[in-house]
Amino acid sequence: MSVTDDDEAKKAAEEEKAKKIAAAKAKAAAKKKAEEKAKPWPYPAKHAEPERTEDLDALREQIGDKLLAVGDMSGKPVAYVAPEAAWMALKFAREDLEFDHLPFVSGADYPDEGIMEVHWQLYAYPRAGRDGKDLAIKVHAPREEPHVPSVVDLWTGAEWHEREAYDLLGIHFDGHRNLRRIFMPDGWRGHPLRKDYDRKEQYIGMSRSGEDVVYDTPGPYRW
Amino acid sequence: MALPEHYQAAPKGTSYQLLEEGGQKYMELNMGPQHPSTHGVLRLKLQLDGEVVVKCEPVLGYLHRSKEKIAELGQWIKFMPITDRMDYLTGIYNNWAYCRAMEEMHEIEVPERAEYIRVIAGELNRLTSHYLFLGTFGLDLGAIAPFFYAFSDREKVLGLLEELTGARITFTFMRFGGVKWDVPPGWLEKVSTLIDELEEHHAEMEDLLKKNDIVNMRLRGVGVLTEQEAVSLGCTGPVLRGSGKRFDLRKDDPYGVYPKFNFDIPVHNQGDCYARYRVRMEEMKETYRIIRQAIAQFPDEGPVIAKGFEGTRILRIKPPHKESYGRVESSKGELGFWLVSDNKPNPYRLKARGHSFSNLHALPTMVEGASIADTVVSLGSLDIVLGDIDR
pLDDT in tens, A87-104: 988 999 898 888 989 999
Interface test with B, best of A37, A47, A74, A113 (most B CBs within 10 A): A74
Chain A contact set for B3 (CB, 8 A): 223
SS3 per-residue string spanning B262-327: CCCCCCCCCCCHHHHHHHHHHHHHHHHHHHHHHHHCCCCCCCCECCCCCHHHHHHCCCCCCEEEEE
CB-based contact, B253 to chain A, within 8 Å: yes
- What's the pLDDT at B12? 46
3-state secondary structure of A137: strand
Q: Mean pLDDT over residues B170-179, rounded?
A: 90
| pLDDT tens-digit map of A120-156 | 999 999 888 888 888 999 999 998 889 999 999 999 9
- What's the pLDDT at B4? 59
Contact assignment for B323 to A186 by CB distance below 8 Å? no
Chain A contact set for B253 (CB, 8 A): 132
CB-based contact, A160 to chain B, within 8 Å: yes
pLDDT exceeding 70 applies to what percent of chain B?
94
Q: Which amino acid is at B19?
A: L
Q: Is the pLDDT of residue A220 over 80?
A: no
Q: Is the pLDDT of residue B15 over 60?
A: no
CB-based contact, A116 to chain B, within 8 Å: no
The whole-angstrom separation of Cα B115 and Cα B101 is 15
CB-based contact, B65 to chain A, within 8 Å: no
3-state secondary structure of B74: coil
* Neighbour tally for B200: CB within 10 Å: 9
Q: How far is CA B326 from CA A130, A134, B97, in A?
A: 21, 11, 6
Closest CA to A69 of A84, A51, A49: A49
- What's the pLDDT at B290? 93
CB-based contact, B334 to chain A, within 8 Å: yes
| pLDDT tens-digit map of B129-167 | 999 999 999 898 888 888 999 999 999 999 999 999 998
Tell me the whole-structure pTM to 2 decimals. Answer: 0.85
Contact assignment for A108 to B61 by CB distance below 8 Å? no
- What's the pLDDT at B239? 93
Distance, C-alpha B227 to centroid of its chain: 20
| pLDDT tens-digit map of B210-232 | 888 888 898 998 889 999 999 99
Alpha-carbon gap: B99 to the closest alpha carbon of chain A (Å): 14
Q: Is the pLDDT of residue A13 over 80?
A: no
| pLDDT tens-digit map of B227-240 | 999 999 999 999 99
φ/ψ region of A170 (left if φ > 0, alpha if ψ in -120 to 50, else beta) reads left
Residue of A nearest to B391 (CA): A183
Q: Mean pLDDT over residues B310-328, rounded?
A: 85
CB-based contact, B5 to chain A, within 8 Å: yes
- What's the pLDDT at B331? 92
Contact assignment for B234 to A74 by CB distance below 8 Å? no
Contact assignment for A104 to B338 by CB distance below 8 Å? yes
DSSP letter for B333, please: S
Contact assignment for A157 to B68 by CB distance below 8 Å? no
CB-based contact, A205 to chain B, within 8 Å: no
Q: Is the pLDDT of residue B73 over 80?
A: yes
Residue of B nearest to A196 (CA): B69
Q: Is the pLDDT of residue A28 over 60?
A: yes
pLDDT band at B258 (very low <50, low <70, confident <90, very high): very high
Q: Mean pLDDT over residues B285-296, rounded?
A: 93
- DSSP assignment string, B131-188: HHHHHHHHHHHT--HHHHHHHHHHHHHHHHHHHHHS-SS----EETTEESSPPPTTHH
Residue of A nearest to B106 (CA): A74
Q: Mean pLDDT over residues A105-116, rounded?
A: 88
pLDDT band at B98 (very low <50, low <70, confident <90, very high): very high
Alpha-carbon gap: B299 to the closest alpha carbon of chain A (Å): 28
pLDDT exceeding 70 applies to what percent of chain A?
77
Burial class (CB in 10 A: 0-12, 13-18, 19+), A177: exposed
Strand A133-142 relative to strand A76-81, pairing: parallel
Alpha-carbon gap: B357 to the closest alpha carbon of chain A (Å): 8
Contact assignment for A132 to B253 by CB distance below 8 Å? yes
Interface pTM, i.e. ipTM: 0.88
> B147 — phi, psi (to 5°)?
-60, -50
The whole-angstrom separation of Cα A194 and Cα B194 is 49
> In this predicted model, which residue has the larger pLDDT, B291 or B17?
B291
Chain B contact set for A158 (CB, 8 A): 234
Q: Mean pLDDT over residues A6-31, rounded?
A: 74
DSSP-H helix ranges across A39-142:
54-63, 86-95
The CA R_g of chain A, rounded to the nearest whole Å, is 26
- Nearest by CB to residue B234, choosing from A41, A47, A103, is A103
Q: Is the pLDDT of residue A223 over 70?
A: no
- What's the pLDDT at A189? 75
